[in-house]
Chains A and B, each alone.
Chain A
Amino acid sequence: MTVSKLSIRNARRQAGDYLVYFVTIVLVASLTYAFNGLVFSQELLALSRQMAMVPPMIVFASIVVVGIISWLVAYTTRFMLLRRSREFGTYILIGLENEQVARMFFLENLAVGGCALCLGILLGNLLYQALRAIVLALFGMSYHFSFFFSGKAVALTLTYFVLIYLSAQLKSRRKIRKMRIYDLIYLERQNEREVVKSGRGRRVLFAGSLVLGTLGTLLLLTGDLAACLTGACLVIFFLYGFFISFASGVPAFFEKRPARKYRGQRLLVFRTLTAKLGTMGVLMASLALLFLGTLAAEGMGMVFQGMFQSRTNKNNCFDLVLAAEDPKVESYRDSKAYIAEKIPLKEDREYEIYLMDTDKIMAYTEVHTMYYRYYGRDAVMKESDYRALRAMLGYEDVACKPGQYLIHCLPYMADALQGFSEELVFGDASLTPGGVHTEVFAQHLYDYGNGGDFILIVPDALLEGYPVSHTMYVAMTREPVSEAQYKGICTIRDQIFEEREDPLEDSLLYASDMDEAQAASQTAMSVFPLFYLALVLTMTAATILTIQQLGEAGRYRMQFALLWKLGMDKKEMRRALRMQFAIYYALPAIPPVLVGAPLIRNMASQVEPGTMVGASDPLAITAMALGLFFLIYGIYIVLAYSSLKRSVLPE
């Protein structure tokens, strides 16, 4: 039998023995191909100018993915080498040269990687269609199937895989070439070296790591960059310190409490776990770090998605908005002229936003909500403008009752403002609250909207003599504003700003269609790479844990066979295996969840008030990020458990 035939046979066996690893590589290949498909899709990139930023972001994420998967492949190759070292030693013993064995292992891994890549590309085509459907949905377009195959995407995926495999395989090839028979036969007996040897040292490390972890998490929640970086470093110290010292603390705990140790299946579960964890503390910490990365990426992705979507929804009512403190400025005047000339309108209106002489409502909302101030005093508009704008938007007509004022605000403030009962004085008149309205009303355009998150509406006559904050021009168009029309206005404005010494914009231009396209592009640009990373991180960590667990199948089988002979009930065996599984998989996930959950909640709370509401509420985002993480992780756990249960429990 030739070396290459033996390689192929071993590759087939490897794909079976390390099925979880093989499936993960197939999935990673399909994800990489699908995202590379986005990079080269002319159809999707043509949806908006902003989509041009998507390819660099995906390539950047792919580079990180290549790094992570290289680690996974290198780790698994090393693991396989360890497990099969005796087999390799035997090959050399019967006369094969080191070089031949090294080549055989190399070819075997290349065959597995090549198969995974081919299957991944096939699956990736389906996944690409899913990504395409999401992108089209983001742009409000309907999905229809169209076959996609990109040679460039295949070439880029192939390049990534060559990088991943060559780095790992060349290393193992070098290692086998240098090894002696003795090394190969006894390699399996080597464990990860204990980093801290003395019991006291480990106890100190354990306690210290917990303190650092708590401190690090608190620093991460401050939002300050320097504090966050320090916090991140402390959390890394915590994870490594915790996992290096944890396994040794458990036997000491039970040694002092023998009655607890011998209760139920605890003895078996704790010893099996500590035997495993005692030699893989550094690895566990690295996996916990990957999980924390997953949670951070998922959380950030969801925050971005919610933020872009919600910000768009807050303003998405008028097709076009122009605003300026002084309506005579060139940028405002010329933009308006362009609109009048080039864009067919259904309706338009120009009006003023005034400022009151007090900030009573702002002061009130600052106390009762998470309000940010946009103006020095409360913004107010004329009743006639308000009613005309409501009519333009198709909202129900409302009017100020005599002696009353109205408030129009973002939904998050409504409850608080319902409770505002103070009278407001306009010249000689005193007005009482007459109701709160919350329809979408372009109130989130920072300095230039219909108020900053809220506005007062009073009878026109009362605003005589009040200072104007800014002038607004709003319009409803006959057709959606095209990218060319929007670009036309932007070109005029850019020319004006370029010619100035001080290029600051003195007016605002907003087009709801463009804003939606921008939100869609921003979502594709930030959320896609983050989820891509999160998926790969979870799959990598879960695969390594599963490989480790399934690698012990032989030992577990012997253990359960003995326990069966000693009279252990099968139900109890299943319970012991389940408990052992639950703890083994929960352990690297608990610290990241404890750090990650408050971190995600905090990230979502940093966004301006009224944005992260409904499904984007900080708590909802935290729950969804954790849910998604546990869903993917859970699939791996269930697969590993059912496979191990079948192979280790006696018939």
Chain B
Amino acid sequence: MLQVQNIEKYYGSGNHVTKALDRVSFEVEDGEFVAIMGASGSGKTTLLNCISTIDTVSAGRILLEGENIAELPARELARFRRERLGFVFQDFNLLDTLTIEENIGLALSLTHSDPGKVKAKVEAVAKKLGIEGILMKFPYQVSGGQKQRAACARAMVAGQSLILADEPTGALDSRASKNLLEIMTHMNQAFGATILMVTHDAYSACYARRILFLKDGRLFNELLLGEQSRSAFYHEILDVLALSGGDISDGI
């Protein structure tokens, strides 16, 4: 589904160039749940922004379903984002003037779906994520966990093929985090959603089936869940973190 090939990203100019991504390459298969871990400044959000077309790469190619997203014109990029990508942000990014139902339905109205079917589609996805009871409420009337589930519903309601999550548990307490991660796992396993999640939290990362470790803009390790238990996977992650210098242990 997703092929990231030798991408590089530089910021600044002249003598003040910062290399945020350095020859990063990996692939994500259809239906995978992949986490990218790294310390602050390791380049994980830059990587996600490049994949989500919010930012552009300095070199290399990103192919989504065989299509090089760097070559798409601005209008096509917008269409690409609204039809193929779903986003879940750390701070939810729900519009506070819209109800939860409308926030989810917004993604459908952007894709020019049949307006008559929007409400039914929203209700169906809300039911799957257990937020059907809060659809008429405004974001400020619901909890952080509920907001993030609403954001997940928005990310998948239009049938997006890849869900990009940037520190989705960053603003949640541990209970709400666990709940959200279980929902994301459910989205991945039951509905076949492909998820690429950026996190610095080992606990969140252990819900993924594969983890890519990023340090100073380069991929330096990869872990697979395989047949092991989540608990064992979690400890394996901690070991990698310890090897890497342990500066991304905030979540442990």
Contact = CB atoms under 8 A, between A and B. Distances in A.
Chain B associates with chain A: yes
Interface of A: 258-268, 271-272, 274-275, 559, 562-572
Interface in B45-64: 52, 54
B81 A275 contact: no
Given A262-B118, A267-B102, A566 B87 contact: yes
B234 interface: no
B97 A275 contact: yes
A261 B107 CA distance: 13
A271 B98 contact: yes
Interface stretch (B3-11, B109-117, B242-250): B109-117
Contacts, number: 75
B65 to A, nearest CB: 16
B153 to A, nearest CB: 13
Contacts of B97: 271-272, 274-275, 559
B240 interface: no
Interface residues of B, number: 30
A567 B78 contact: yes
Given A267-B105, A275-B97, A569 B118 contact: no
A567 B83 contact: yes
Contact of A562 (B93, B108, B109, B111): B93
Determine chain A's interface SS by DSSP, over half rule.
helix
A567 B81 contact: yes
A267 B81 contact: no
Given A267-B98, A267-B105, A267-B109, A565 B52 contact: yes
B162 to A, nearest CB: 13
A559 B105 contact: no
Nearest to A273: B97
Nearest to A561: B93
A274 B95 CA distance: 14
Nearest to A254: B102
Contacts of A272: 97
Given A271-B97, A563-B110, A262 B105 contact: yes
A569 B78 contact: yes
Contacts of B87: 565-566
With most chain B CB atoms within 10 A of its CB, the pick from A259, A261, A262, A265 is A262
With most chain B CB atoms within 10 A of its CB, the pick from A564, A565, A566, A567 is A567
Nearest to A266: B109
A572 B79 CA distance: 12
Contacts of B95: 271, 559, 562
Contact of B54 (A264, A266, A565): A565
Contacts of A263: 109, 115
B75 interface: yes
A227 to B, nearest CB: 43
B78 A570 contact: yes
Nearest to B107: A566
B92 to A, nearest CB: 10
Contacts of B150: none
A559 B82 CA distance: 15
B76 to A, nearest CB: 10
Contacts of A565: 52, 54, 81, 87, 93
B81 to A, nearest CB: 3
A559 B110 CA distance: 14
Contacts of A569: 75, 78-79
Nearest to B106: A267
B119 A567 contact: no
Contacts of B98: 267-268, 271
A261 B52 CA distance: 28
A574 to B, nearest CB: 13
A271 to B, nearest CB: 5
A567 B93 contact: no
A192 to B, nearest CB: 16
Given A262-B118, A264-B109, A563-B110, A568 B82 contact: yes
A264 B105 CA distance: 12
B81 A566 contact: yes
Contacts of B106: 267-268, 566
A265 B110 CA distance: 8
B74 interface: yes
Contacts of B119: 258-259, 262
